[in-house]
A = this chain, B = another copy of it.
Amino acid sequence: MRDVARQAGVSVSTVSHVINKTRTVNETTRRRVLEAMNELGYKPNALARSLRRQRTNTLGVILPDIADPFLAEIARAIEGASFAHNYSLILCNSEGDSEKQLAYTNALIEKQVVGIFFVAAGVRAELVEDLQGRKVPLVLIDPEVSGLEVDTVLTDQAQGGRLATQHLIDLGHERIACISGEPERSSSTERVAGYHQALRQNHTPFDERLVVTSNFQYEGGYEATQRLLALDERPTAIFAGNDLMAVGCIRAATELGRRVPESLSVAGFGDVRLASFTNPPLTTVAQPIYRLGALATEMLLERISGLDSPPRFSKVETELRVRGSTTSLKGTQLRLF
């Protein structure tokens, strides 16, 4: 900046004035300074500014896997909202590894980020308290553990599970299987809870062999479906814990000679972009991904602006999107016999 001042023939503070509160200087000075800035290709040093102001404009987002379409879409929503408010975003891919999560959290603290998003993460209470002690605002998005006293935006997972299961029941299915994601993640267990609730409400008999545990990946759905279809009394419908698993599920079913939806209905969860383009297109529970991201960013920015209220919990509802991967049991039977 000193250079700019010299070049423009004015004092350093004048340059500051031009940069910050432009109105206070006269036009000629203003022009001279701006020209000099351009000529020298001057760009302020954000490090120095942030050090002085005691405040960066950097946020961090910690998530298990950026290559997961759902998480990538969340990240995109967060990035968009952050950029609009002039914040940059440090991407932290934790791979579900709590060591890496911790390492990244420390790096973020050292880099003086003014806020952190934890997405789909199993955050330890201890870590949350440390962050709160340091006055680093944070927001949890669809956290994998519950009961933490922090701002949280979450999908009503159980409601979504009910929605999907009810849909399958309404189609006449009675042997409805459920593929759960990692059992330590609450998004898994709550979706399964919704499944149970729907069965109970409809007095549909429950067979515990129809609930299998796997992981939220393509492979997980694939492998779980193989197990399910090897049962003596096979399910006529499957509620997969997320869209990735549903895709894996359809693949496995097809390989085993069962057509979807004619001889097996499959429902997913998430309504990722892909869901409209699978073969057949996926009936799924839509999470309002963009809203989740926007809400979370809004919450975080409010905290950053100094909002000092008790933790807020915002729960967003899901919606059923009926597409081609589910059909009525009657239809099935007609085709089978």
Binding site for B on A (CB under 8 A): 41, 43-48, 50-51, 56, 58, 61, 65-67, 69, 72-73, 75-76, 79-80, 83, 88-93, 100, 103-104, 106-112, 130, 133-134, 218, 222, 247-248, 250-251, 254, 260, 273-274, 276-281
Residue on B nearest A107 in the bound complex, by CB: B88
Do B51 and A45 touch across chains, with their CB atoms under 8 A apart?
yes
- A111 pairs with B88, CB closer than 8 A: yes
Cβ-neighbour of A109 out of B43, B260, B279 (below 8 A): B43
Cross-interface CB contact of A254 among B72, B89, B279, cutoff 8 Å: B279
Partner of A91, one of B41, B91, B248: B91
What is the minimal beta-carbon distance from A262 to any residue of chain B, in angstroms?
13
Do the beta carbons of B79 and A46 come within 8 Å of each other?
A: no
A67 touches B67 (CB 8 A): no
Known contacts A251-B281, A276-B218; is A47 also within 8 Å of B50 by CB? yes
Assuming the contacts A58-B111, A274-B274, asked whether A43 and B106 have C-beta atoms less than 8 A apart, the reply is: yes
Name which residue of chain B comes closest to A70, CB basis.
Answer: B67
Interchain CB contact under 8 A, A111 and B47: yes
Shortest Cβ distance from residue A135 to the other chain B in the assembled complex, whole angstroms: 12
**What's the Cα separation between A110 and B47 when bound, in Å?**
8
Residues of B within 8 A of A61 (CB): 91
Shortest A264–chain B CB gap in Å is: 12
